[in-house]
Each structure stands twice: as C-alpha cells, then as structure tokens.
Amino acid sequence: MLAGQFILAVFAFMNKEPGNFPELIIVITLILFLLAYIYALNANMDYVQRFILTKGQLALAESTVEEQIYAFIRFFPLLLLNLWYYFWRRLGKSSKDKIYFTFNISHPVKTIRHIMTPWALLWSIISGVLFALSHPSFVSIDGIFILGWISLVPLFLVFIYEKYWWAVFHGATFGAIQALIMNYWHGTFNYITLYLVIIASIIQYIIFMIPLIWVIKKSCKWGFLFAPVIWVVFDFLRGNGIIGYPWGMPGTSQFQLIPFIQIAALTGVWGITFIIVFFNSAAAWIIAGPGKKWHWGDIPGTKKIFPILISSILIFINTTGGLLYMHLSGFWKEDKTTVNLVLVQQNTDPRKHDYSESLSNLVQLTSKAIEELGSTPDLIVWSECAFHPDTRYYSKIKSDFGNAKLVAVMLEFQKQTNTWLITGNMDHASEKDFHKDDDNENKIYYNSAVLFDPEGNRRETYHKIHLVPFTEYFPWKKQLPEVYKLLKKFDISDWTPGKERVIFNHDKFRFISPICFEDVFSNDIRLFIKNDVDIIVNLSNDYWSLTPVEGKQHGIIALFRAVENRRPLVRATASGYTVHINSYGQIQPGDVPFYTKGYTIARVSLPDKKKTVYTELGDWFPVICLLLLLTVIIYYSIKGIILKRR
C-alpha cells in the first residue's frame, strides 16, 4: 500500500495522468482501514486479553477505542488524500484531464456514459453497500429486501461500459466491500477469519468476474440472459466443498416473501437467486440499451423493454405458482399432528463463561419452560456445546469436584425431566484418545450432539461432519504442517470431522441435528432428509459474534433448508437466533430476543414425509446452469475464431 502511495505521489507531483491507478490504491487502503477498524473490537474481549497474556501472538491496545484510533492514524489520512486526488482529477478542468462530471439532459445516452465510466469505482462500491444492506445488517436486522432488486444494476452498468480488465477489478471491489459489510462480525469470531474471508472473497470474485464480464462483452444485448446463469454457478461453486461459505447469496435476502421463495422446493435457493439477478440485469440492459443501440425483436411496444418484460413475467409466474402451491398443500389449514419442543437459549459461551454458570442457566430455563407448558415436552433442545464437559467420559468418574460433578448434576436433572433431551457436547473417540495430552496433534475429539431418552440413557450421538475450516480444524495439516503450526498459535480448535449422517429416533418422530453452520449447506441437509426425516433440529453457538446481525444472517440462510425439503426447522442457540420455522419458511411467533436468557416452546407440525423435487434431485438447477455456461463460452469462442479468420 505504501509503495502504491509513493507511486501515486510521483504522478501527482509531475502532473501526469495516472489512469485508473488511484482507484486501485483507494480500494487497497479502504479495505486495510476497515479490516483494522473492525479487528479493534477484539481489544474489549476478556478472553482475547487472556490469550495475549498467555501466548503473546496478538498486538492490540487495551481497549477497542484506543485500537480504532490507531487504525485511523495509520490509514485514514492517506485514504482522504487518495479520495481528494481521485475527485480532483475528475472534477478539475486542467488541460491534461478531459474527464468531467457532466449531465446533458438533451443527450441521456451521453449522460449515462459520463456517469458510469469515470465514476465506475464509486458505483461498484455503492452496489456492494446496497447488496450487503439487502441482507440482515447493522442498518436493519431483517435486511432491506427491496434493495436486492436494484443493488446489482450499477454493477452491471459498470461491466457494460468499462474496459474488460478494469471491469474485473471493479467486480472484485464489489465482492470485497459487500463481504466486509456482511461479515464484519468475523472480526470477533477468531483472530484470523475476517482476513481469510476477505482474501477468499477477492480471489473468488476475480475468478468469477473473468467469465461473467467476458460473456457480457461478447453477448452484447443478450447478456442479461446469461448474467443470472453465471451468478448461480458462482454461488453454487463457492458455497460447496471443504472451504464452502454460502453467505451473501442474492436469493436469501428475500426470505420475507413467503410465496416467492416456494420455488426453492423445486430448484433450491438457486432458483430464487436466478430470478433476483435476472431482474437486476434486465433493468441494467434497459438503461444501457439506447446508448448501445440495442433493441429486442419487432413486437410493437416491446423492442426496447423486452428484458424487463421477460423478467416481470417470470416473477409473476413464480409468485403465483407459490401462492397456488401453498393453497393446495394446506398452508392455511390447521395442523392436526404436532409435537412440543422446548428450545433453550442460555446466553453463555463456553469460551467465556464457566461451565457451571451455563448449566445453571440451562436447568433454570428448562424448568420454567416445562412449568409454563403444563405438561412434559416431547423434546428439550440445548444449543451447540451448551453443556461442554464430555458426558461419555466423566459419567464414569465418581467425584464431587470439577467436570465429573457437573456431568452428574446434568444427567440427574435430565432424568428428572422424564423426557428426551438433545444437547451439544464434546465427545471423544475412546478413553485412550481422551487421555492424550492436549498438545498432542493426534488427539481425537468431536463437536457433537447427544440424545438422551426419558430414562437417562445415552441413545445416539452425532459428530459434526462439516467443520469450519481454519477455525474448528485445518483440513490440510498433514500436507501443510507449517501453516497448521501457525494457525495453532492463533488458538484454532482442532476438532475431528465426523463421518456418519446420524438420524435421531424419537418415539414420535425422526429428526436430524446439524451443528452450527452445517444448516447453511443445501446438499448436506438434503442428504439427511432423504432418510425419512421429520424435523431439522439445529444446535448453534452464535454468542461469540457479539452482534445479532450474524445470528439473524445465519438463521435466515438456514430457513431455506426448511423450504427446500418441506421440513420444519427449529434452532436452539447459545445466544443467536433461537427460532421455529415451519416447512414453508415462515418464521413462527415466539423467537427469543438476542443476547438474553430465554426459551420458546415450539409446537411443530409433523410433515407428510413427501419428498420435494429438490430433495430427490438435489442441485440439478445449478448443474444445468453450469452446462449452459460452458455451451455459451464454447459458442462465443468458436464464433470469435471464425470472425477473426474471415
């Protein structure tokens, strides 16, 4: 960054035209400033202070305010100077700079070009901000869903008017800005994850923009048809695999439009993303059409509005189809078969609070819920690692002290409830493994969900399969041992991934219990549901984020698993988004406020066990989009070769 600042200063001193170079420096400086400013939140966290004292790997001030002042001192003066130079070159009227910020009402085509080309950086940043705010954010906890319908329009106009490689740069800028705004809470999740997310986003968006903009440039007036196809492929690829991270998908911003999102049972969330991006691209192509002299067909009154007409028809068909499906499937009818689930939110974090405090809250809240219900619930649900001490190991130890005492108290309370209980818990592979030293790299232990029956017997255990890479484990520790050692210095966990998709068998229903962010992966949940599952019971710990924004984002992404598979979803979190969502994706009354102790009694309607098209066929829609994309690329490549030879 400093080298870039020096080069920019040379351009300014010599009064030479720097081209788009100031934009590059502005983006780098802005991202580094925001990273440092957000990361300063860690300074106020007591367990970070303990980490600094014991391991000495972090250099942070004693308070967030002080650390944020340091961030301002390091980056903000340079950022202001860069912005001043950027605007001066465009608004100034020197003989060597002919780019002016001009409007010409009599020539709207020229006006659009003057607005988009010299100010492409601002438009890409605006697009990134609007896109992020369409999802749950610090501005609106529910997100401003209407922004999802317009947020990509400026970005697509930049792609249409800007030169190819600079358009790729602006696309990556969009990706970085929206990722920073949406994922700022990563700054307090782990000491490295915010940086990893932003680096990954920049790399992913650069790779994504190369084919997207190439196809847009080649297809000209028909680009609005291909943009949503490529976007679906991108979201599908980045949301799967070991390092998959399906945050920030256009489709998830529309969770409040219940009839509109029912198409997810057919196409998965990808179909919703397709329609949203289609509308954005259609609007952008309509705006750019006159300047590019594009028109579509010879149907009277449609040759200039064809893209928006097609997208509007698609929206109408989808919404009407959703309403019709809801009517035919009995959405407005009273459910007959229901079960009562108590979802407990103890408002503690095992990294910060004593295990005894967590257990005390769990016992107190569960007892109150049972008293309010007036009868025995069918299932009590505690969150991820709500009770952390290993119940398999400590239940065999007779002691009045430490974890053994806590396990005995917990098991006795569960037995007294006379009902089923599922809780997050640490589990180990064998007693031999449990006794290994904590620093032993071969120690095997799991992030688990454990089911106890009314008699107090441990029935079934699920070991989390899809762990969070780089924080819960490092998938390539044998291949990259030096990187693994570096990550260990920053206190990453070292869970072992589970292998078996466990179905929990209650005497009234069958359910699965994906742990934490496993519920954001469409195909992972689908593979569970195929085995005749009635309810999705998610256990999460979102306390660490210190903001309700992360919990709400997580919850609404998980909401689409209910719609895709037509199965009700309940979530019990340490303090995030404890909620009941029905099989249509409708959030039920009674969700527990963020960062408070509480519970909700979910009266869950059991489904008819019919499998949706998505449950049966999986991600067929993005696969078709991928095949279509490859066909388009091959077509325009061959066409280009033929034209070049001619």
In SS3 terms, 277-328 reads as HHHHHHHHHHHHHHHHCCCCCCCCCCCCCHHHHHHHHHHHHHHHHHHHHHHH
Within-domain flag for 591? yes
Within-domain flag for 570? yes
Q: Write down the residue that tokens 């409040």 correspond to.
A: 256
Within-domain flag for 353? yes
Within-domain flag for 526? yes
The DSSP call for residue 348 is: -
Residue 426 parent element (H or E): strand 420-428
Q: In whole angstroms, give the CA distance from residue 601 to residue 372.
A: 9
Q: In whole angstroms, give the CA distance from residue 78 to residue 32.
A: 11
Q: Write down the residue that tokens 């890409």 correspond to.
A: 124
450: which strand partners?
A: 423, 461
The reported pLDDT for the residue numbered 194 is 86
595 Ramachandran zone, left/alpha/beta (phi>0; psi -120 to 50): left
The reported pLDDT for the residue numbered 71 is 92
For the beta carbon of residue 598, count every other beta carbon within 10 angstroms: 19
Q: In whole angstroms, give the CA distance from residue 473 to residue 558.
A: 22
Contact by Cβ (8 Å): 215, 633: yes
Angle, vertex CA 586, rays to CA 583 and CA 592, nearest 5:
110
Within-domain flag for 49? no
The reported pLDDT for the residue numbered 480 is 77
Q: Which DSSP string corresponds to 429-441?
A: S-HHHHTS-TT-T
pLDDT digits (tens, 9 = 90+) for 354-378: 899 999 999 999 999 999 999 999 9
Number of domains in the chain: 1
Q: Which CATH number covers residue 582?
A: 3.60.110.10
The reported pLDDT for the residue numbered 188 is 76
Within-domain flag for 546? yes
Torsion over CA of 349, 469, 47 and 55, rounded to 10 degrees?
Answer: 150
The reported pLDDT for the residue numbered 103 is 47
Contact by Cβ (8 Å): 411, 502: no
pLDDT digits (tens, 9 = 90+) for 463-486: 999 888 877 778 777 777 777 777
Query: Which regions of the chain are under pLDDT 70?
Result: 45-58, 92-111, 190, 298-301, 334, 430-443, 489-493
Look at the alpha carbons of 544, 548, 553, 554 in this order and tell me if their dihedral is positive or negative. Answer: positive
Within-domain flag for 489? no
CB-neighbour burial class of residue 13 (10 A; exposed 0-12, middle 13-18, buried 19+): exposed
Q: In whole angstroms, give the CA distance from residue 385 to residue 383.
A: 6
The reported pLDDT for the residue numbered 95 is 39
Backbone angles phi, psi at 84, to 5 degrees: -60, -45
Q: In whole angstroms, give the CA distance from residue 474 to residue 519.
A: 20
Return the amino acid letter for 205: Y
Return the amino acid letter for 579: V
The reported pLDDT for the residue numbered 290 is 83
Within-domain flag for 433? yes
Q: Which residue range forms the structural domain that includes residue 580?
A: 338-463+504-605
HEC string for 392-419: HHHCCCCCCCHHHHHHHHHHHHHHHHCC
The answer for residues whose C-beta is within 8 angstroms of residue 548's C-beta and 6 or more apart is 141, 576, 577, 594, 595
The three-class DSSP label of residue 539 is strand
Q: In whole angstroms, give the CA distance from residue 340 to residue 93.
A: 71
